[in-house]
Amino acid sequence: MDPQEALLEIARLLERERASRYRAKAFRAAAATYAELPEDARSDLNRIQQAKGIGSSTFEVIRQALDGRTPSYLVELRGEVEPEIVSELRSRLRGDLHAHTEWSDGTTPIAAMADAARALGHEYLAITDHSPRLRVARGLSSERLRTQLPQVRALSGDGLTMLTGIEVDILDDGGLDQEDGLLGELDIVVASVHSKLAMDPGPMTRRMVAAVSNPRVSVLGHVTGQLVQGERGTRPPSRFDARAVFEACAENGVAVEINSRPERHDPPDDLLALALDIGCLFSIDSDAHAPGQLSLLDHGAERAERAGIPTERIVTTWGLERLLRWAG
């Protein structure tokens, strides 16, 4: 087995199961180091072992691959990490409107996310790093966002269109945490609540309704903010008048995100049914923070299919031209 591919597959599997981000990054770094070695050094175990960025675990993977074996750690992960859920709806998804990179709290460069999206057969991928107020996630100032935009666009090609975007914080009064004019330059704007999630229902409702009524907003991200499992623990859903929020989404053509991360399960089943009944559009997104997490769309697709959401109302099944008309 090719050592670089073995290292990258391990990284993807670790990312899909949301394991320690540092473990996955170590395998990606080792793959990059191995690829940069002179050709005559790629089979020289002594030189490989001495290369900066190759640790004991990654060296063992390379050694076993060069010996003609599937590395034992890769075999172990293939057996442990749940396979992708097969569904008819998953096969109809064309892209993803919510993904992060190392520019904010993701783990890899934009190019790695683009490569992973191509490998999955995506037609488009929106890069939506965080906005300034979310300092813990290295949110992008207007200056940093402007620097990022041409770099995102430059990675389009080979069947994939890279879309510019942001996951903008919904401020306490319903305003958006980025310059209005700059938001107007983006292809996709995901608006999410990241602070004061325990706000009283009345103010939270007004806050969310104001945000989705802003013509810049394309998608309402992880609607309730709940966490049902995972290393961050659990968190109850925010309390708000869901009917009022979803009616505002429907009126303004804003898609309700079906966040595909299993630890979120957001929106919950009852709210998903309510949004469907009200007539909302939906966006099935990965909220990926690493390349291997782009494959989590299968979870969102499975939930949407089980809820009986018509394909036509899922914007991420639309072709690029129609998607951009809607988002614009």
| pLDDT tens, position by position, 39-64 | 999 999 999 999 999 999 999 999 99
- Give the integer Cα–Cα distance in Å for 199 and 106: 27
Of 20-24, 30-34, 53-57, where does mean pLDDT reach its minimum? 20-24
> Is residue 232 scored above 90 in pLDDT?
no
**Contacts of 109 by beta carbon, 8 Å cutoff, 6+ apart:** 101, 102
| Domain identity same for 39 and 188 | no
| Domain identity same for 55 and 110 | no
| Domain identity same for 179 and 319 | yes
Tens-place pLDDT, residues 112-152 = 999 999 999 999 999 999 999 998 889 999 999 999 999 99
Average pLDDT of span 227-239: 92
3-state secondary structure of 270: helix
Average pLDDT of span 190-215: 98
| Domain identity same for 37 and 157 | no
Tens-place pLDDT, residues 78-97 = 999 999 999 999 999 999 99
Average pLDDT of span 294-313: 98
**Residue ranges making up the domain that contains 223:** 90-327
| Domain identity same for 54 and 94 | no
- Give the integer Cα–Cα distance in Å for 242 and 224: 9
**Last-in-domain residue among 46, 80, 114:** 80
> Is residue 230 scored above 90 in pLDDT?
no
Residue 243 lies in a domain: yes
Task: Domain count for the chain, please give it.
Answer: 2
CATH number at residue 217: 3.20.20.140
Identity (one letter) of the amino acid at 11? A
Number of helical H runs and strand E runs in the chain? 13, 7
Average pLDDT of span 287-313: 98
> Is residue 246 scored above 90 in pLDDT?
yes
Residue 146 lies in a domain: yes
> Is residue 20 scored above 90 in pLDDT?
no
In which residue are the tokens 């992708």 written?
84
Instruction: Output the average pLDDT for the chain.
Output: 97
Give pLDDT, residue 144. Answer: 98
**Last-in-domain residue among 25, 55, 80:** 80
Residue 85 lies in a domain: no
Residue 48 lies in a domain: yes
| Domain identity same for 126 and 207 | yes
